[in-house]
Amino acid sequence: MKLIKILLVAVIALSSSYAKEKFFVVERESSSLATIYNGLKRTNIEGMRNMNHGVVKFEGKDGYVISRDGYVIKFDPEAEKILAEYKTSKSAIGFVIGKTYVAVANYDDKSVDILDRDLNPIKKIKTNSKNVGIKIYKDYLIFSQMDNDTISVYKDMSEGKSKADFKVFKEFKDVGELPFDAMIKDNNYIAGFFTSAHYGVVDLDTMTFKKIKIYLNDERKMVLKVPHFGFWSIGGDKVFVPAVGDNKVLVYDKDFNFIKNIETQGLPVFTSLSPDKKHLAVTYSGKDFPTIQIIDTKTLKIIHTFNFDGKVLHIRWSNKSPQLYVSVNDTNKIAVIHTKEWFLNREIFNVKKPSGIFIYEDGK
């Protein structure tokens, strides 16, 4: 009897620790989000516009989606219903959420939209360029103008205390040819370029710009094509970059000095670091689309390979439990890998053409 009570308490504790973690999965051909709660498929939120490259973000208890066809959608992740939507353009490429605003980088009408958190328009910044790499740092909004080879820094003059009021603070010209993506690392805004053999770095504390070069190996061979920064993984003292057109994951230190190339099974697309930074999951393209591999970040060796019955489009580590969620697009399911014992734990079916997997943790 005592053993049964102990087991019951353990089960309750385990389920309660997982219960606060909810996953939202983009169903890319159905204009919808699937919800997975406590490890089970629960509902679908319909009417999410063109979700071919849909991205979901959370801020507090608010959820936001950007669709391929230029809509920003606000939804309640707890009630699982749409609250508002606003069309910024025919094609929006990225967005960020501030304390009092949502900022959207647009492609087709060459602008950046500033909306309030309920998606009411505040301002349209016209740039005469496709805009990419939009990020927030303190009271600054930073983005790259692809057609103008410019990095723009705007400042919220309200300092987040009232309605957002963005004014141009500084612009860096001729930073590199065709900026296409960017990331924030500490106080640095790092931009990648399609046709320049360097990265552009803006120190957002000193507002100064410099160029850095990143090499493929110890012989200082240049990286010829930079993958989107969303495919990188940065954690601890290492940076992991999937090589474009080569069966390698490139490893650098935090200052982008070359450490090692890890030979992989196929052409890597996406890397994802575990919450404890001990493991890196890698997805592939082409014939290796159905495969993911796990790298030990200490030894820099591949320790596990998993094959699925369809293309793997996305992966997401659980923050609450030892599980890795895998989006298997062709067979309409999410596979779940146990990340302590490294086996396929279960499969969640009836998720239509899944791609991106996003975690909501009760407003935390």
- For residue 99, pLDDT over 90 is answered with yes
Q: Is residue 160 part of a domain?
A: yes
Quote the pLDDT of residue 364: 54
Q: Is residue 283 part of a domain?
A: no
Boundaries of domain holding 202: 88-212
Q: How far is CA 345 from CA 102, 337, 341, in A?
A: 38, 5, 10
Average pLDDT over residues 302-311: 98
The dihedrals phi and psi of 224, each to the nearest 5 degrees, come to: -85, -30
Residue pLDDT, tens place only, 52-61:
989 999 999 9
Instruction: Encode burial over 45-55: b for 16+ CB neighbours within 10 A, e otherwise.
Output: beebbebeebb
Q: How far is CA 198 from CA 26, 218, 333, 351, in A?
A: 34, 17, 40, 41
Q: Is residue 167 part of a domain?
A: yes
- For residue 10, pLDDT over 90 is answered with no
Residues 132 and 147: beta-carbon distance below 8 Å: no
What CATH code is carried by the domain that includes residue 138?
2.130.10.10
Q: Is residue 110 part of a domain?
A: yes
Structure tokens at 261: 């190339």
Q: Is residue 94 part of a domain?
A: yes
Q: Is residue 76 part of a domain?
A: no
Mean pLDDT of the chain: 91
- For residue 17, pLDDT over 80 is answered with no
**What one-character-per-residue DSSP string does 96-156 give?**
EE-SSEEEEEESTT-EEEEEETT--EEEEEE-SS-EEEEEEETTEEEEEETTTTEEEEEEE
Burial of 99 (0-12, 13-18, 19+ CB in 10 A): middle
Residue pLDDT, tens place only, 173-219:
999 999 999 999 899 999 999 888 788 999 999 999 999 887 766 66
Q: Is residue 120 part of a domain?
A: yes
| Structural domains of the chain, count | 1
Structure tokens at 235: 């954690």
Residues 104 and 92: beta-carbon distance below 8 Å: yes
Quote the pLDDT of residue 93: 86
